[in-house]
Structure 1
Amino acid sequence: MAKWGEGDPRWIVEERADATNVNNWHWTERDVTNWSSEKLKELLVGLSVESEEGVCEITEVSKAEGEASINNRKGKLIFFYEWNLKAAWTGTSSSGIKYKGNIDVPNLSDENDVDDFDISVSLCKDEPDTTLLSLMKKEGASKIRKALANYVEVHPGHDPAHSQWHEQTEDSSGDNRNQQNSGEKKTDADTFMTSPEELYRVFLNQEMVQAFTRSGAMVEAERGGKFRLLDGNVNGEFLELVSEQKIVMKWRFNSWPCEHYATVTLTFSDKGNETELKIECRGVPENEEDRTRDGWQRYYCHAIKQTFGFGARLC
């Protein structure tokens, strides 16, 4: 029996009459400018260095001009970005004297290596000289460079921290309690760089399912319709389909006890340039919880991101 993730890749086609971009054979591009702007601010604001002379901290990113995009061609992700950044920092000497300064990064670009980013640290006009300036130019600039390197590494096409598995236990009254039976509900949240419409379609279009599972599949995209994925290792039935919003299904591993199904609910939320996917699993056998969680993360979410350019890793 085939394992998850294994299968005959010969279903991949170079061109399709219906223009479906299976496995990103054609070039696709996704704008991540807004995400980048927020991420850069998150990485820089609050960054601090300290010595015997005092403490310095970046207080704001006053300018973030530029753009960023993720491009996909045949499953290969390329991150393009170009930014001109300006930030403000404050310093407090060991004697309590306050100072203000500026930071300029004019060439944060994919054309430059991280070590080649220009990081200029200065004091504001009319500020008196202070040894804190040297602290920021050395240790501060080093921390800034590491933060910018982090931005390059954790873009939405390859951030492993984007997805978080949240465990919940509920009884019929809605109270959270520790349960040891298979009625426990597990919730997983993940973000995809695509629209709810497109992500919803990925789960219901048979050829797209075969694309991200890289194996044979049967999908009847209707209420009461059956599905079999990964050469029969996963099967079930669609219980509810709300276009672009929700999919509810009976779902099971082939190795589970006969006729034992979990109820899986997929909820799609539009977040502008992104779609948040909430995955709720109820009724998973207790000894299968870790396997089921890992399977959904690796062979659904991760595989969909890699195949269709919605982000190669979980975030």
Structure 2
Amino acid sequence: MALAGQGDPRWIVQDLGKQGKNVGNWHWTERDISVWAMERLRSLLQEDPIGELRLADDTVQVQVTGSPSVHGDCALYNRKGKLRSVYDLKVQADWEARSLATNAVCGKGTIEAELFDTDPDVTITPTGTWEHSAQLVSFLTLDGKSWLHRVLERFQAEALQLGTGDTGSTVAGQSQAAEAVKNANKDHAGNTAATSGVQQPEQSTQSTWTSLHMEERFRAPPSVVFRALTAVEELQRITQAPATSDTTSSNGTFSLYAGQVHGSYTKLQEPELIEQRWRMADWVPRDHYSRVQMRLKAVSDDETLLVLQQDQIPEEYLERTQVGWRERIFAQLRLMYNLGSAYV
């Protein structure tokens, strides 16, 4: 046994006091980045257009104008090597729609959003009287959220990158931030190509496509379901938005949500078969269409089994496509026509 005061210092546990409670900032660090966050988010909101809307005889581009108002709090937390951002921000911005052909203003309004999680609460308000106000509000209600998601992905990635300069950041935190920035920049590049006026090379390979299969039951005969999915007045009733549908001519066209979903019919066999060329307006390449087939089978006198098969969907849009069919079309069809709620 060593004499008092002669022990090997390598084996002596020292009292580090307060310093020992959070050694090397490993357990936690917190950094207020509200000033940076408000300024950076204001800049990102002005960087890219919200999107393009196809009207009957024109295409308009919608973008933020002026300097958006951003208020709230944002902080970086690093706990045991894991870096994350927490924010509670309110955004208000003016938007403007301009014709790509004539550069004439086609609509104006405001967009307000509360950003505190991954699902922003968005309010769209038009200002003034414009011919296409309803279509623009419908477009912004749907695509405004997608645009905000893209902005938030870049914002969060840059916030994490900002946090790697902290002394509490670890290798894991740095890797997390670097990967987030890489993904955000990749998404940003793709969206810039899709929304800019300059045509970008649009290349896709077979490996980027995927398929969707759904089966739904409705307590109605096939003829009722067929009409609800093809007649323009019924589509407008289901979607609560502008729609078109031409079933009288060969390769007749259709559009939902003021053109955000559009395509043409390739085969109609009432009341049992609907085949379509189908796409969302922001898909890339811009001339790419998926193939939709809906078969309607009478299960009984008052019940229909709808089998949907959709092929050639861009992989990154699979979840959005599936949710759109299930929640915005089939669920609304049941709600509007009281066709029951049974799922296969």
TM-score, with length taken from structure 1? 0.43
TM-score, with length taken from structure 2? 0.39
Bigger fraction of residues in helix: 2
Q: Choose between structure 1 and 2 for higher RCO, CA contacts under 8 A separated by at least 6 residues.
A: 1
